[in-house]
């Protein structure tokens, strides 16, 4: 099987033995690549790093493994291995910041001390806080602009550029009658974000990343590039204009310094002329009419995100490909940050433009099984918008993989990290299946840490120096994941709806977040991809066209475009609608207020296209699309908790997942235009026939999914089957006898390091949670029981009521199966015999309870309840 997994291997300067052992354990999981990450390595790109990399490369070559390199000493990417700090201080970031002076009553000469205003104002409680006063003294004046108050707390859009009145650190002027606010806008290297990071908006500064990391590795290992070394991974590169951990760094936020560069200034001059400075206050304040203000904000963010794309993403991607490597990674997407400044890149699709795979991450409890739309408390106390992470993030990532020819259908996700030690293989499979069902098909599990156990840095850690009792089950999960990714690679997504990316709408005004519409589509099994305006504007760059009233992008054919409400529509989108008036378009939540200009060419667009589009409310979306023929696959009865992914290779492939934590589903999947189908069991790597029927050209496929359960259904097309698929309900209905085996088990315990050396745990009568007796135990619990059968059963099924949380069953010294998630049930007639039969069930919990045995870490990302440990409740043997 091919490899689609490359977990983080954290490097801190461990011994050769430890490094080689960890890579051996990764290989045991069927994984054939790693992504090395300094976490941090104190000698990154120094002799100690090259020594350790030599070991990694040697071990990887012995095992036929590939290596990816996380491209900095620590995250986020952009530190450039310290070169800005140590070698190129002149390449530090520039920001623009804003201070103001209010003038009530005018029409007489006034003077303001501009020099004194070239720094942020503070409160008395901030006195003594550290600051680089020497560097701050170099702040440079950019503009002085007066904005007139309205009768409320907003401002008119008639501004006065007072920059020319400045002399010797002061500005002297006379303002017209009225109340005014004078903005002093200045350039600074100190009053924004981290000073030691590259400036994404400056070509020379951004290239420092290549010099510091990429060229250094090429110098040492150029013969391995494109061979053992597959490429580089950028981790959360950002515009970085704030030191706060916040997701709301939108233009206009009070006190927010904004990214800047000479190149950016030149682009604004191209759009607004030499007098562009009079519009700069609109980046920091609201206006009454909000006409020029949103235009300026759009143009600013458009320029910023295009410079990020050009100077950083595309430049690094081009360098990698020129040197025989690939470039991958992800940015911070959280809660809308994907289209903002701060921790964001300004525009998610442009940030991905240089990469060879699309990339996202799901860490730190961002997706929780059974909580799809709840706002939760996450890492650092930040709110987690469950609706964004559950309903759009995976689809956003997969959409770039599907639609950008450079990506070759590949979407990578970094996953599992910072969920905590309680996050075990059961929940990993839930999360994995959720992402697969959105279109993710490459995985970067976070992480294999080689530090002494327990490493408090963003657990879980999969091997944990041999202390994770679920490691053998994790290895099974990774083999399953590789098979699933193989099934969902080298094909084409089948989608009905193109859902518009909301980045530009977020720049300028109020809007409906795209996850709102995405939620409605997913809940009604309507397949979609997220498209951005850049794709619609330049269809040829994406192998795209409009043909027969269909939108085709890189082989994906869309029946319609859905546009969530945006207050201000970009000129380019209006142009697409005018040019393609016959293509179905649905506005959800209202028409735009107006269309922005093309500031570069001073062009305006009409709204004549409204006559050929539909406008509807969000609750009407799914029903309207179904009525108009845009929804092709249905469930009978309907069930909103099933997610679906439709894929086409030589055969059609459907992945379905029941994302309810409580409700089972039993019904019929109705699929038009599909041939005879089989069920694929990726855990056992086998195919089984499914009894179906066709009514009016629509294939009726029986579907039963327990909570959290997923399945793959695909056209048979020559797949060799091993029998007929039956649900567990069908299996036990064919059994005439049932006995409850809940009593009389011998119970033994072993920690991960002790396994398979077990110690007896006295437990009389019926089974109870082991955590009731040993609350701090983490490890493997072995249950042994002999049963007598008069004859070999023709059919036998075992079902265990409660397991925490993974299970392996051995019958008569032969492994009969494993269960990573509920329901804990399996067929076992092939392993039973007449007479005495020995059943051995091994259950492993997570390392979570073991943390009680160690000093409490100095911090927590979040808090959660502990589940029980072990096996208990009814243990039913059905047989006939």
State the Cα–Cα distance between residues 608 and 227, nearest whole angstrom.
Answer: 55
- Higher pLDDT pick, 151 / 528: 528
Tell me what pLDDT residue 766 has.
86
Residue 640's Cβ-count burial label (10 Å; 0-12, 13-18, 19+) is: middle
Structure tokens at 365: 């409890």
CB atoms < 10 A from the CB of 228, how many?
18
Structure tokens belonging to residue 532: 């951005």
pLDDT at residue 57, as a whole number: 98
What is the model's pLDDT at position 564? 98
What b/e string do you get for 324-350 counting C-beta neighbours within 10 Å, with b at 16 or more?
ebbbbbbbbbbbbbbbbbbbbbbbbbb
Contact yes or no for 580/546 (Cβ under 8 A): yes
Tokens of 480: 């399953």
With tokens 């095992």, the residue in question is: 63
Q: What is the mean pLDDT of residues 648-659?
A: 98
pLDDT of residue 677: 98
pLDDT (average), residues 425-436 = 98
CB 822 within 8 A of CB 803: yes
Element of type H or E holding 25: helix 16-28
How much is the pLDDT for 691?
95
The model's pLDDT over 514-531, given as tens digits with 9 standing for 90+, comes to 999 999 999 999 999 999
Residue 398 scores a pLDDT above 80: yes
Kindly give the pairing relationship between strand 528-531 and strand 550-553: unpaired
Q: pLDDT value at position 305?
A: 98
- Torsion angle defined by CA atoms of residues 482, 488, 491 and 494, in that order, rounded to the nearest 10 degrees: -170
pLDDT confidence tier of residue 442, bands split at 50, 70 and 90: very high
Average pLDDT of the chain, as a whole number: 96
Mean pLDDT of all residues in 450-478: 98
- The full 3-state SS of 322-368, as one line of letters, equals HCCCEEEEECCCHHHHHHCCCCCCCCHHHHCCCCCCEEEEECCCCCC
Q: Kind and range of the H or E element at 97? A: strand 94-104
Range 75-100 average pLDDT: 97
Look at strands 796-804 and 870-879 and give their pairing: antiparallel
Overall average pLDDT of the 747-754 stretch: 98
pLDDT for position 805: 96
Which of the residue ranges 464-468, 490-494, 608-612, 675-679 would you say has the lowest mean pLDDT?
608-612
Q: What is the mean pLDDT of residues 715-729?
A: 94
pLDDT surpasses 80 at 107: no
If pLDDT is split at 50, 70 and 90, which confidence band does 600 have?
confident
Please determine, for residue 568, whether its predicted confidence score (pLDDT) is greater than 80: yes
The gap from C-alpha 746 to its chain's centroid, in whole angstroms, comes to 44
Distance of alpha carbon 130 from alpha carbon 119, whole angstroms: 14
> Using one digit for the tens of pLDDT, what is the confidence trace for 218-249?
999 999 999 999 999 999 999 999 988 889 99
Bridge-partner residues for 511, per DSSP? 566
Q: Note the pLDDT of residue 30.
A: 98
Percentage of the chain surpassing pLDDT 90?
91
Q: Report pLDDT digits (tens) over 182-199.
A: 999 999 999 999 889 999
Flag whether pLDDT at 105 surpasses 80. no
68-77, 365-374, 407-416, 690-699: lowest mean pLDDT where?
A: 365-374
Residue 763 confidence (pLDDT) above 90: no
CA distance 303 to 301: 5
Asked if residue 106 has pLDDT above 80, the reply is no
CB 150 within 8 A of CB 288: yes
pLDDT at 444 over 90: yes
In tens, the pLDDT along 330-385 reads 999 999 999 999 999 999 999 999 999 999 999 999 999 999 988 887 776 778 99
How does residue 139 score in pLDDT terms, banded at 50, 70 and 90?
A: very high
pTM: 0.97
For residue 602, name the pLDDT band (cuts at 50, 70, 90).
confident
- Residue range 676-690: average pLDDT? 97
Distance between CA atoms of residues 162 and 269, nearest Å:
18
Q: What is the DSSP string of 248-311?
A: ---TT-TT--EEE-HHHHHHHHHHH-GGGGGGGGGGTS-BSS-SHHHHHHHHHHHHHHHHIIII
Long-range contacts of 744-748, Cβ-Cβ distance < 8 Å, separation of 24 or more? 744/785, 745/783, 745/784, 745/785, 746/783, 746/784, 746/785, 747/781, 747/782, 747/783, 747/870, 748/781, 748/782, 748/784
């Amino acid at each position: 099987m091919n490899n689609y997994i490359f977990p983080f291997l954290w490097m801190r300067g461990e011994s050769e033995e430890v490094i080689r052992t960890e890579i051996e354990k990764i290989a045991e999981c069927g994984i054939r690549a790693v992504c090395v990450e300094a976490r941090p390595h104190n000698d990154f790109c120094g002799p100690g790093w090259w020594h350790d990399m030599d070991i990694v490369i040697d071990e990887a070559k012995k095992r036929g493994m590939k290596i990816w390199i996380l491209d900095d000493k620590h995250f986020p990417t952009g530190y450039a291995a310290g070169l800005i700090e140590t070698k190129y201080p002149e390449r530090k970031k520039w920001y623009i910041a804003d201070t103001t002076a209010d003038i009530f009553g005018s029409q007489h000469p006034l003077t303001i001390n501009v020099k004194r205003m070239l720094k942020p104002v503070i409160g008395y409680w901030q006195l003594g806080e550290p600051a680089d006063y020497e560097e701050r003294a170099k702040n440079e004046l950019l503009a002085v602009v007066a904005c007139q108050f309205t009768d409320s707390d907003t401002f008119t859009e008639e501004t006065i550029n007072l920059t020319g009145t400045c002399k010797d650190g002061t500005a002297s002027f006379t303002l017209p009658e009225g109340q005014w606010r004078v903005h002093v806008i200045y350039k600074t290297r100190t009053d924004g974000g981290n000073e030691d990071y590259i400036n994404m908006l400056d070509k020379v500064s951004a290239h420092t990343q290549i010099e510091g990391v990429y060229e250094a590795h090429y110098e040492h290992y150029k013969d391995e590039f494109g061979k053992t070394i597959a490429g580089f991974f950028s981790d959360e590169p950002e515009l970085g204009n704030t030191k706060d951990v916040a997701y709301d760094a939108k233009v206009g936020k009070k006190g927010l310094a904004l990214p800047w560069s000479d190149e950016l200034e030149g682009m604004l001059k191209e759009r607004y002329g030499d007098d562009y400075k009079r519009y700069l206050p609109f980046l920091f304040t609201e206006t009454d009419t909000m006409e020029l203000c949103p235009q300026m904000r759009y143009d600013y963010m458009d320029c910023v995100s295009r410079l990020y794309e050009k100077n950083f993403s595309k430049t690094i991607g081009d360098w990698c490909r020129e040197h025989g490597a690939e470039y991958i990674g992800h940015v911070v997407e959280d809660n809308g940050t994907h289209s903002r400044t701060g921790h964001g890149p300004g525009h998610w699709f442009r940030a991905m433009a240089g990469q060879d795979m699309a990339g996202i991450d799901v860490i730190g409890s961002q997706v929780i099984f059974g909580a799809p739309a709840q706002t939760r408390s996450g890492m650092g106390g930040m709110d987690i918008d469950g609706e964004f992470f559950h309903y759009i993030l995976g689809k956003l990532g997969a959409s770039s993989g599907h639609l950008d020819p450079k990506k070759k259908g590949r979407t990578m996700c970094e996953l599992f990290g910072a969920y905590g030690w309680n996050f075990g293989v059961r929940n990993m499979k839930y999360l994995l299946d959720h992402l697969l069902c959105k279109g993710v098909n490459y995985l970067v599990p976070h992480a294999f840490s080689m530090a002494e156990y327990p490493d408090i840095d963003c657990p879980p850690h999969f091997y944990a120096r041999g202390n994770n009792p679920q490691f053998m089950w994790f290895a099974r999960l990774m083999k399953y994941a590789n098979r699933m990714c193989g099934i969902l690679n080298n094909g084409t997504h089948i989608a009905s709806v193109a859902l518009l990316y909301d980045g530009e709408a977020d720049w300028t005004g109020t809007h409906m977040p795209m996850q709102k519409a995405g939620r409605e589509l997913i809940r009604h099994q309507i397949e979609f991809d997220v498209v951005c305006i850049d794709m619609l504007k330049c269809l040829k760059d994406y192998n795209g066209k409009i043909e027969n009233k269909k939108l085709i992008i890189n082989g994906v054919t869309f029946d319609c475009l859905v546009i969530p409400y945006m207050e201000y529509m970009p000129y380019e989108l209006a142009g697409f609608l005018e040019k393609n008036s016959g293509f179905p378009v649905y506005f959800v939540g209202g028409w735009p207020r107006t269309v922005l200009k093309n500031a570069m060419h001073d062009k305006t667009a009409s709204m004549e296209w409204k006559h050929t589009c539909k406008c509807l409310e969000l609750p009407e979306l799914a029903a309207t699309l179904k009525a108009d023929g845009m929804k092709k696959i249905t469930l009978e009865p309907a069930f909103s908790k099933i997610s679906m992914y439709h894929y086409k290779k030589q055969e059609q492939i459907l992945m379905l997942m029941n994302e309810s934590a409580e409700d089972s589903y039993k019904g019929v999947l109705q699929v038009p235009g599909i041939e005879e189908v089989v069920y694929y069991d990726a855990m056992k790597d086998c195919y089984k026939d499914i009894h179906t029927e066709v009514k009016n050209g629509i294939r009726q496929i029986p579907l039963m999914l327990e909570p959290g359960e997923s399945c793959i259904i695909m056209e048979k097309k020559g797949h060799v089957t091993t029998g007929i698929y039956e649900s567990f309900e069908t299996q036990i209905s064919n059994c005439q006898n049932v006995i409850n085996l809940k009593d009389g088990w011998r119970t033994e315990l072993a920690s991960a390091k002790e396994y398979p050396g077990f110690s007896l745990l006295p437990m009389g009568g019926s089974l109870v949670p082991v955590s009731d007796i040993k609350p701090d135990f983490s490890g493997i619990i072995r249950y042994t029981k002999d049963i007598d059968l008069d004859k070999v059963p023709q059919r036998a099924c075992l079902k265990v009521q409660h397991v925490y949380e993974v299970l392996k069953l051995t019958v008569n010294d032969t492994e009969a199966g494993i269960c990573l998630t509920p329901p804990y049930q399996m067929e076992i007639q092939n392993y039973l015999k007449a007479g005495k039969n020995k059943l051995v069930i091994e259950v492993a919990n997570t390392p979570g309870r073991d943390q009680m045995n160690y000093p409490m870490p100095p911090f927590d990302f979040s808090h959660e309840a502990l589940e029980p440990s072990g096996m208990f409740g009814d243990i039913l043997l059905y047989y006939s």
